[in-house]
Structure 1
Amino acid sequence: MNLEQLNCLIAVVEEGSISAGARRLNLTQPPVSLQLQRLETQCGVRLLERGGRKIRLTEAGKSLYDTAKRIQTLTLAAQEDMKNFQLGKKGSLHLGMISSGAGERFFRGVRYFAQKYPEISIQLYEGNTYQLLDALEKETVDLAVIRTPFSKTRVEGKVLCREHFCALGSRELFPQHLPEAFTLEDLEELPLLGYRRWERIIQEICRGRGFSLYFRCLADDARSCLQWAQAGLGVALVPESVVNLSQNLNAVPVREEKLESQVVLVRKKGRPLHETARLFWENY
């Protein structure tokens, strides 16, 4: 098994056919078919179902595809690191980061790190908390900035900031006179747009007080909530730092002590950090 074979597998799976995969790799179909046949022979199992218009992965193929993607990502990262060394740099930090922002403390630390270690470049990988935890588990990122709630069984972290929530929406969806703050009870009649991970926590608080909230849309990304809010489809219930990403929306703080989101810098438990990641981790 080699990188060329794995790259062929990835291209064919993602393009849906051997011919399309070959075009993506700038190859003809026969050598790609040969690489896949050799890969299946070496693995001793069938990886692809070739019936119908589109290639389908077997269970074994799905497992190998996931591993192949991880190897491909690590290979590209290693190549990038070597380019940085050629340029006189000390390598790269592979950092995962949520789209909803990380607060002033985080960026203050990044500025200090960049000034102290200008020879280290940062490769940024964006995603939601679930995606970044998966990347951390697969070791395609060194560290990640994510948001609670999340399982802490496989990671350890440092809290960067704590935030309360805000309600963001068009003027038409809010009361005529905007209050200084909302309670959860004030949101009962509003169509809400929120984080899927927070919905259960919020509803448990509300049920304890004898009511529930209506979520028109649940999403995994703050930007999706804001896009729906800007389209007038509801009121986004998001952490305070997300307010800076909004355009032409009214923002009202939500006064609820139990509703606090933490932004956390995390690392995989038990995984030794290489030098660039260790220096960044110790900066916090």
Structure 2
Amino acid sequence: MRCHEMEFRRIRYFATIVEEGNISLAAKKLNMAQPPLSQQLKLLEEELNMKLLERNTRNLTLTEEGKVFYEKSLEILEVVERTKQRMKEISEGISGTLNIGMIPSLGAELLPEKIKDFYHRYPKVKFQIWEGDPNRIMELLEKRVIEIGIVRLPIDYELFEAISFPEEPFVAVMSKSMEINQESQSINLVELKDKPLMLLRRHKGTSSYTESIYVGDTLKKACANLGFEPNIMCESSDLMTLLTWASYDIGIAIIPKSAEKTIPNSSLLFKQITNPVVMARPPAVIWLKGRYLSTVAKLFKQYFEH
């Protein structure tokens, strides 16, 4: 039976009963009395000519037909909700809340100008920003707390879709009192020999993709090729901690170049590492595969597709 041949409200009633697992709780959620709700369920089953729920004294159990109908009910409800939202947008303009997750080392580079332009175009849109390491951002996507994440590769392509960007070099961040090679905006890797270095670490998370990414692995390999072992005095997943410690002359922070904008107007010195250039993993904008994205999220994602 096609959707328009039955009352839409009965589909909503049925889905609520399944979600609550109890007609009494469903009636309370729907703000209606229990007998009318039971009657609507009965009418729906008669209309479909099939039993959707097995009833006993304590709970309700979906029949095989009920399981199929429940899945289709969710699809119908989502289509209707999306249509209502779209009609609202047409009449009132684009609105809603955009939930974005990002790692701090990329937020300052990829987001501000795009957020500024997006908000100028759609002033009714609000923003919720979440920060964390890549595993944390992927967990938030899986839990549907956020719709769009900004991380560094690798990711699990079975779970996520992505728009990736070119890889970028690491830079050495130091205070003026610890400056090396004052005549240049770059620094040879060998000049960091014996210097106290502070590195970013991505901790293992609880998401389906939990690979631990460590800047030190790349740096150690490059240093080994030059015949020395780096003096790593600190590892942290918190970018601001490394930059703060660098400003206090504790050590030299090794961060991706895009993170230079994290502290505007800083007195810190940022020097690209050369001979060899040490590259950070590529940035990417990611979202959960197969998940419906809100109109706001789709519009914002377009900023990265071009």
Instruction: Confirm or deny a common fold (TM above 0.5).
Output: yes
- Give the equivalent residue in structure 2 for 1:266: 286
**TM-score computed with the length of structure 2 as normaliser:** 0.58
- Give the equivalent residue in structure 2 for 1:115: 120
- Give the equivalent residue in structure 2 for 1:29: none
Deviations 1:227-273 (A, max 9, x none): 11122110011122322334322222112445134332111223222
Aligned partner of residue 237 in structure 1, secondary structure: strand
- Give the equivalent residue in structure 1 for 2:69: none
Identity %: 24
> Could you tell me which amino acid in structure 2 is paired with residue 225 of structure 1?
L
State the shift of 1:111 in Å. 3.0
Deviations 1:13-37 (A, max 9, x none): xxxxxxxxxxxxxxxxxxxxxxxxx
Give unpaired runs (5+ residues) of structure 1: 3-41, 43-80
1:277 aligns with 2:297: yes
Report the number of matched residues. 204
Question: 2:218, 2:278 within 8 Å by CA — same for their partners in 1?
Answer: no
State the shift of 1:190 in Å. 0.8
Cα distance in 1, alignment partners of residues 267 and 191 from structure 2: 22
State the shift of 1:155 in Å. 2.1
Decide which of 159, 168, 184 is 2:164's aligned counterpart: 159
Aligned partner of residue 118 in structure 2, secondary structure: helix
Aligned partner of residue 130 in structure 2, secondary structure: strand
State the shift of 1:217 in Å. 0.5
Deviations 1:87-122 (A, max 9, x none): 986321111122224465543333332233222222
Distance 1:115 1:244, change over 3 A: closer
Cα distance in 2, alignment partners of residues 118 and 160 from structure 1: 28
- Give the equivalent residue in structure 1 for 2:250: 233
Deviations 1:110-160 (A, max 9, x none): 333223322222211122222212211221110011234555553221135
> Could you tell me which amino acid in structure 2 is paired with residue 277 of structure 1?
A
Distance 1:149 1:166, change over 3 A: farther
Decide which of 170, 185, 191 is 2:175's aligned counterpart: 170
Cα distance in 2, alignment partners of residues 243 and 101 from structure 1: 10
- Give the equivalent residue in structure 2 for 1:64: none
Deviations 1:175-204 (A, max 9, x none): 364433112222122110111221112212
Give unpaired runs (5+ residues) of structure 2: 1-18, 21-58, 60-84, 202-213
Distance 1:200 1:150, change over 3 A: farther
> Could you tell me which amino acid in structure 1 is paired with residue 302 of structure 2?
E
1:91 aligns with 2:108: no
1:219 aligns with 2:224: no
When the two chains are superposed, the root-mean-square deviation of aligned CA atoms in Å is: 3.1
- Give the equivalent residue in structure 1 for 2:143: 138
